[in-house]
Chains A and B, each alone.
Chain A
């Protein structure tokens, strides 16, 4: 072996050894004391950093929950009950029960229901349109169709339907993080309790105008007639500002309100089609 090689190897070895010694001492001197449970909690989190919990990222969530008194009000919607149970185990606390939620759009103003009255070719952002005018239809509460909610979703759970110009939620991908709710300038999206088989019953309208103007603007608007409130046996429906609202925690999915609604503003999703009763007419066949 030539002397050059030996000198090179020895020099590099000395450099490597002294660097590691220096780094070790520095890391010990400037060590930050931290609760080791924060790292443990962060390990079990989904690392989506979506902000659905209300904190800036998964690390901030871990810090907050380790320092909190109890787990009341702190929930990771993406991880769901499984992750929350693991976190509770690490902290030695009780896991808080919370219902799974899903995003629901409270508007059914497709062009066939809600005719277009004017044309808009400005910037395609719902927030800009909402500040500027009531929309391309006569309903000043309904969906503007430019997809701020689609842009906000990090889980590919909401897409624009080009035929109806309304966003459609993918119930399986939706983790109810609330990003779309914040993005919608008209507060049309609500996080509602998720039922079995992704069934839903809700008032697909947010129009607070009186019945006349509401119906003129959109065929399937809620006109505030109150029939649904009267027919519900579980007191799940309330009426405020000419608009009905179904409380998902009280609703028993009997579907009476769906039949009762005169405009079709109340929608049922995920149910099998109703069996049509066939009445036998007595004297139907009297021929021949």
Chain B
């Protein structure tokens, strides 16, 4: 079975909700939809206080190419357009809507019959993805139409689909593959048409044998789509590691997957593309896993974007008494929340609640030079060195050691026996080195 050769760790799966069918979460009484739920420029609000909006209506427009539209996920009246604090406390603009009923935009096809007839052309597909606000659903939230628009001089010959879901606890992709496998495969065909490729490979980790079997059955009816089981190892779902495992190609440092003629998309994205292209449905709801060892009723829910996280937690039984940490995303790369008021956004794949005893970090000691961080680094870098250089402010040396190539997977930080906060220093090193590189490039232009 394939995998990426170097590095990687094996945190406990904890897929507590793998057997929970997706339930529809009731629409809350009000939603707060941020205008920046994606990588790139925030969208520009086009509605005003007091406007009546329908479900699926555009409320903020894409600004520039690397940006995308934001749609209302409910029908009702715009209450206010105000700043809201994100997970870290930084302010961002959001549209607050008081819900009235659930009236959808008439252009959306509401039937749930699976439609496998792809009538749109390649260019029309890409345009539809932009209009529908489709972004990467694996968590990165990169606008899909940008990835599908292959730049001049580059070529794509294979589409890779990420069904790995290597983060512990998260099961939203798993359930989508089990319950909406046909829509996903049609979505993959749509993406293949948009990229003008005839080969697609879907990588799924081996801890989801039912999903592998289901998709293999469905994909056998389609041309050019193969399902490949992968060894369970974190971070198999990272783009570069997935490309290495499935195509045995290494994306060069500082370059993108398109530079090895590959485009990677998440299975959730394929599903959203299906809905956008075949049902004219923009992205305004997604599957979110709510889970945790002490959560009373964990599960997977289809949630409208903008729903406060507290609503989702209440349905799962409320915040347990001894909760020490609440995470948006998975335990390896997710964001810790300050409170439960933040809304669910396009990139929220799961909410995980940790009990107190699992919420604090290990005690920090000196580096004992055991080399475990070097052994687990999936990019074959030397984390102990880059972290110490960043800590001491020696950023030129850190740049030489390749700190800008770190993908934030946190395998080194996980494995360190001395509890050193490696990733904290690596992030500092990365941001400083990238800033230095930008300043150098700007100086070069000025000359």
Contacts and interface: CB of A to CB of B under 8 A. Distances in A.
Do A and B have CB atoms closer than 8 angstroms in the complex?
yes
Interface of A: 117-118, 121-123, 125, 127-128, 131-135, 138, 140
A134 B428 contact: no
Interface stretch (B22-30, B66-74, B419-427): B419-427
26 contacts: A117-B338, A118-B338, A121-B360, A121-B361, A122-B361, A122-B421, A122-B424, A123-B424, A123-B425, A123-B428, A125-B424, A125-B428, A127-B428, A128-B424, A128-B427, A128-B428, A131-B428, A131-B431, A132-B427, A133-B88, A133-B89, A133-B90, A134-B88, A134-B89, A135-B89, A140-B90
Interface in B373-421: 391, 421
Nearest to B420: A123
A210 to B, nearest CB: 11
B421 A132 contact: no
B20 to A, nearest CB: 30
Interface of B: 85, 88-90, 338, 360-361, 391, 421, 424-425, 427-428, 431
Contacts, number: 38
The 7 closest A-B pairs by CB, nearest first: A134-B89, A123-B424, A133-B88, A123-B421, A121-B361, A128-B428, A122-B424
A279 to B, nearest CB: 49
A8 B431 CA distance: 65
Contacts of A123: 391, 421, 424-425, 428
A119 to B, nearest CB: 8
Given A133-B89, A140-B90, A128 B425 contact: yes
A125 B361 contact: no
B89 A131 contact: no
A132 B425 contact: no
B239 to A, nearest CB: 24
A127 B360 CA distance: 21
Given A118-B338, A133-B90, 7 more contacts: A123-B425, A125-B391, A125-B428, A127-B428, A128-B428, A134-B88, A140-B89
A184 to B, nearest CB: 15
Contacts of B421: 122-123
A132 B338 CA distance: 13
Nearest to A129: B424
Which residue among B88, B89, B361 has the maximum number of chain A CB atoms within 10 Å of its CB?
Answer: B89
A134 B361 contact: no
Contacts of A138: 89
B339 to A, nearest CB: 8
A285 B338 CA distance: 60
A128 B421 CA distance: 11
A135 B85 CA distance: 13
B287 to A, nearest CB: 28
B85 to A, nearest CB: 8
Contacts of B391: 123, 125
Nearest to B362: A121
A259 to B, nearest CB: 34
A159 to B, nearest CB: 21
A73 B360 CA distance: 50
Nearest to B431: A131
A218 B421 CA distance: 30
Query: Which of B90, B424, B427 has the largest number of chain A CB atoms within 10 A?
Result: B424
B423 to A, nearest CB: 9
A172 B89 CA distance: 38
Contacts of B428: 123, 125, 127-128, 131
Contacts of A118: 338
A138 B427 CA distance: 24
A138 B341 CA distance: 15
A135 B431 CA distance: 19
Contacts of A132: 88, 424, 427
Contacts of A133: 88-90, 338
A123 B85 CA distance: 23
A127 to B, nearest CB: 6
B90 A134 contact: yes
Contacts of B424: 122-123, 125, 128, 132
A118 B326 CA distance: 12
Given A123-B421, A125-B391, A131 B90 contact: no
A121 B362 CA distance: 9
A118 B421 CA distance: 19
A62 B337 CA distance: 53
Contacts of B89: 133-135, 138, 140
A213 to B, nearest CB: 10
Nearest to B424: A123
A273 to B, nearest CB: 39
A125 to B, nearest CB: 7
Contacts of B427: 128, 131-132
A125 B425 CA distance: 9
Contacts of B431: 131
Nearest to B337: A118
Contacts of A140: 89-90
Nearest to B360: A121
Contacts of B88: 132-134
Contacts of A134: 85, 88-90
Contacts of B338: 117-118, 133
A212 to B, nearest CB: 13
Contacts of B90: 133-134, 140
A145 B312 CA distance: 35
Nearest to A183: B393
Nearest to A127: B428
B436 to A, nearest CB: 14
A6 B46 CA distance: 102
Contacts of B85: 134
A123 B390 CA distance: 12
A140 B338 CA distance: 13
Contacts of A122: 361, 421, 424
B404 to A, nearest CB: 16
A241 to B, nearest CB: 14
A131 B361 CA distance: 20
Nearest to A138: B89
Nearest to A140: B89
A134 B90 CA distance: 6
A132 to B, nearest CB: 6
A122 B427 CA distance: 12
B386 to A, nearest CB: 14
